[in-house]
Amino acid sequence: MTVSKSSIYEPLTENTAVALTVRLQLFEDSSVLTCKEIGDGNLNLVFHIKDQLTNNGIIIKQALPYAKVIGESWPLTLDRARIESSALLKQAEVVPTLVPKIFYTDESLAITVMEDLSHLQISRAALLDGKDLPLLSEHIGEFLAKTLFYTSDYALDPRKKKQLVKQFSNPDLCKITEDFVFTDPFFDVESNNFEEELRTDVERIWNDTHLKLEVAKLKQKFLTSAEALVHGDLHTGSIFASESKTKVIDPEFAYYGPLGFDIGHFFANLLLNSLSRAEENREVLFKHIETTWAVFTREFTKAWENDSLEVFTKVEGYLEDVLSQVFEDAIGYAGVEMIRRTIGLAHVADLDTIEPLERRIEAKQTALAIGSELVKKKKEITDPNQLRSYAAAF
């Protein structure tokens, strides 16, 4: 990987993206390159460059100095490109097959050039197409266990870990999460976005003091608990997958946060997908949750037993205690994610594409009910089977 510091920032176009590719000599001289901007996320430009002769491709991702979803009126730090490429490299140290390869980064241009994953499908779209993605949860369980354990104080010299906390300080992107995930959906503010038919359900949330107290505590933990390097936005749109492969992308929200945060977001997005399906087709999603947790605990335990630097990890009961706290936090974060994806600024296609309107509203009411229940009952839901029972009760 090369890092150049000399460029002056300007947004790429399809033409300048090709010119950059040629300059970096990422393809043979004989190649016939085409380029398409394919970014459909909320924040960045994404260029897919392909050699028409060999079909080989690369991706150039560039951060814009503002949030694309809102427009130029909302400036946003370019430093997120550094965070993203550094996080991908850190994750590649422990799960090299589960993240895209990086070929080049340029902090001044805020770009990351990486492996073309267009032979895979974004897992949200695949699940919406009714695909089962049989290895998704096995892979994500491993991704979570290894990326979290090996960046935590259990595995690292505390001075090294504190350096990493500094390196991954990501205040602007964390502020987006603090506002749009934890705060705004629970108050009557302009950024929220929901159908008028949901108003009674939404007002129930705004008036639910017990719910808001638990959300406040989850937010406080998000703000202060630097347990491990979390991905920070691990929804099913941040995962490319096929029948046999999984690649986790987009860690621009990465920072040192609670161990349960990513797990909860992944669970929530599986639950949201389940609401887009007929009841008889939901089991595969609950199985994915079960497998994710089983693989996470298996791999985390293996790492804890073999690679811990912290002497207290030998104390009986400590691992069980940590795992049960992680699960409780994950359930709480899952609940918050379900609520914000239903009534907050950023929605998910799983709910928004449900037709007709009455079915969509019903699914959203269920998402809000499950989300609230998970936040309030997170201490009582102690394993994936109980989560299934709670979710299925609505």
Residue from 69, 189, 216, 392 binding ligand SR1 (CB under 6 A) = 69
Is 308 strand, coil or helix?
Answer: coil
262 near Mg ion (CB under 5 A)? no
- CB of 41: closest distance to Mg ion in angstroms? 5
Q: For residue 58, what are the β-bridge partners? A: 49, 115
350 near Mg ion (CB under 5 A)? no
Comparing every residue's Cβ against Mg ion, the nearest one is 250
Q: Which does 1 bind (CB under 5 to 8 A by kind): ligand SR1, Mg ion, none?
A: none
Cis ω on the peptide bond leading into residue 185 (within 30° of 0)?
no
Contacts of 165 (CB under 8 A, 6+ apart): 226, 256
CA gap 245, 223 in Å, rounded: 33
Helix (H) or strand (E) holding 228: strand 228-230
In terms of CB distance, is 191 or 301 closer to Mg ion? 191
CB neighbourhood size of 312 (10 A): 8
DSSP alpha helix (H) spans, the chain: 14-23, 79-94, 123-128, 136-149, 158-167, 171-177, 199-206, 209-224, 260-275, 283-307, 318-343, 349-352, 357-376, 384-392
233 near ligand SR1 (CB under 6 A)? yes
CB 152 within 8 A of CB 227: yes
Candidates 46-54, 213-221, 248-256, 270-278; binding stretch for Mg ion (CB under 5 A): 248-256
Burial of 325 (0-12, 13-18, 19+ CB in 10 A): middle
108 near ligand SR1 (CB under 6 A)? no
Restricted to residues 303-362, the positions that interact with ligand SR1 (CB under 6 A) are 345-346
Candidates 26-34, 40-48, 107-115, 359-367; binding stretch for Mg ion (CB under 5 A): 40-48
- CB of 348: closest distance to ligand SR1 in angstroms? 9
- CB of 77: closest distance to ligand SR1 in angstroms? 13
Restricted to residues 165-224, the positions that interact with ligand SR1 (CB under 6 A) are 176-177, 180-181
Q: How far is CA 196 from the centre of its chain?
A: 29
CA gap 215, 192 in Å, rounded: 17
- CB of 149: closest distance to ligand SR1 in angstroms? 24
Contacts of 26 (CB under 8 A, 6+ apart): 58, 103, 104, 113
Binding track, positions 243-282, relative to ligand SR1; x by CB under 6 A: ----------------------------------------
Residue from 250, 329, 350, 373 binding Mg ion (CB under 5 A) = 250
- CB of 177: closest distance to Mg ion in angstroms? 12
Q: Which does 309 bind (CB under 5 to 8 A by kind): ligand SR1, Mg ion, none?
A: none
Restricted to residues 38-67, the positions that interact with ligand SR1 (CB under 6 A) are 42-43, 67
Handedness of CA 90, 96, 97, 103 (dihedral sign): positive
Binding site for ligand SR1 (CB under 6 A): 42-43, 67, 69, 176-177, 180-181, 233, 345-346
Binding site for Mg ion (CB under 5 A): 41, 250
